[in-house]
Amino acid sequence: MRGVTLPGGETVPALGQGTWYMGERADRRKAEAAALRRGLDLGMTLVDTAEMYGDGGAEEVVGDAIAGRRDEVFVVSKVYPHNASRKGVPAAAERSLKRLRTDRIDLYLLHWRGRHPLAETVEAFEALRAAGKIRYWGVSNLDTSDMEELAGVGGGCAANQILYNVTRRGVEFDLLPWCAAHDVPVMAYSPIEQGRLPAGGALDIIGKRHGVDRFTVALAWVLRQPEVIAIPKAVRPEHVDANRKAADLVLTAEDLAEIDRAFPPPRRKQPLAML
Ligand code: NAP
């Protein structure tokens, strides 16, 4: 599995696993944890979650999945913007740690920008880092101007998690280059557009050539860039396996040109989209 090196020098797998919509129903919890464990067995050992998902339920599912194998896993979680204050951040982190049943979160992100000043959130993140409760901090859904402002507050941002897939290429115009130039890894969320990729077009044609479906092609396309991490969410075992294949699929120049024709890159700045 290809890795992406964080600014601190640690390498994480380029292909991880998401957990949005997990932990919402008790009768699905076992299957969700099993899917995550299947992904861990296949090397997708970066797991993304958030206090928001399933109202804490997704963190509990992650807790089930990583029980007994914590050291293999790079756990990412996120704090709600309304909790991103000096006092709110450590309290939210403690609740997350409890649900995850672990003593540290590897990467803790501000889920999106809210009313609390970035400087205050960063100060709280740094305090958590000093206390060993989190190992790195980062942000999510921050556009280029927000990243500029964050850089002004101080360094240390280990990732920006943003919406990025073949149908959502706006970030290629300015945000991806900004992050590359400032050594901030990008984590692509909804990398297969929540399963809504158009059928019967370029992705299917390319998939046929490689013996995979359009979702695996789209995921391989996100992973074509060395500094980008992708975190697809999958509960069905066949989806977990198909996603793992994407990490080994190398798209040809012809494939990439076809994708550019079907999903053109941006020609001007587009505001960062969010799901
Ligand atoms: P996604 O990963 O693009 O798509 C997930 C959906 O696609 C699920 O319905 C899944 O079905 C299906 N799927 C997965 N693999 C598939 C495959 N190989 N073939 C066909 N269908 C497949 O969407 P997402 O969950 O929105 O994004 C991924 C993760 O990013 C989230 O889970 C979350 O951790 C994170 N995220 C972060 C933010 C943010 O604001 N920071 C926003 C959105 C998402 P099954 O589950 O039934 O297998």
List, for residues 141-186, the tens digit of each pLDDT value: 999 999 999 999 988 999 999 999 999 999 999 999 999 999 999 9
Is ligand 1 within 6 A of the CB of residue 189? yes
pLDDT, residue 223, reads 98
Binned at pLDDT 50, 70 and 90, residue 48 comes out as: very high
Mean pLDDT of all residues belonging to the chain: 97
| The pLDDT of residue 1 | 87
The CB of 62 under 6 Å from ligand 1? The reply is no
Cα 119 to chain centroid, rounded: 23
Best mutation site among 28, 100, 190, 215 for ligand 1 pocket (most ligand atoms within 8 Å of CB): 190
pLDDT at site 210 = 98
Mean pLDDT, rounded, for 86-93: 98
Rounded CA-CA distance 122/73 in Å is 24
Buried b (16+ CB within 10 A) or exposed e, 102-128: bebbbbbbbbbbeebebebbbebbeeb
- pTM here is 0.98
Q: Which atom of ligand 1 is nearest the CA belonging to 111?
A: 41
> Are the CB atoms for 64 and 33 separated by under 8 Å?
yes
234 CB under 6 A from ligand 1?
yes
Mean pLDDT of 203-213: 98
Q: What mean pLDDT is predicted for residues 49-58?
A: 98
Give the contacts of 238 (CB within 8 A, at least 6 positions apart).
Answer: none
pLDDT the model gives residue 231: 98
Indicate which atom in ligand 1 lies nearest the CA of residue 194. Answer: 4
Bridge partner list, 78? 109
Mean pLDDT score, 37-54:
98
pLDDT digits (tens, 9 = 90+) for 251-270: 999 999 999 999 999 999 99
Residue 261's nearest CA partner among 205, 208, 210, 215 is: 205
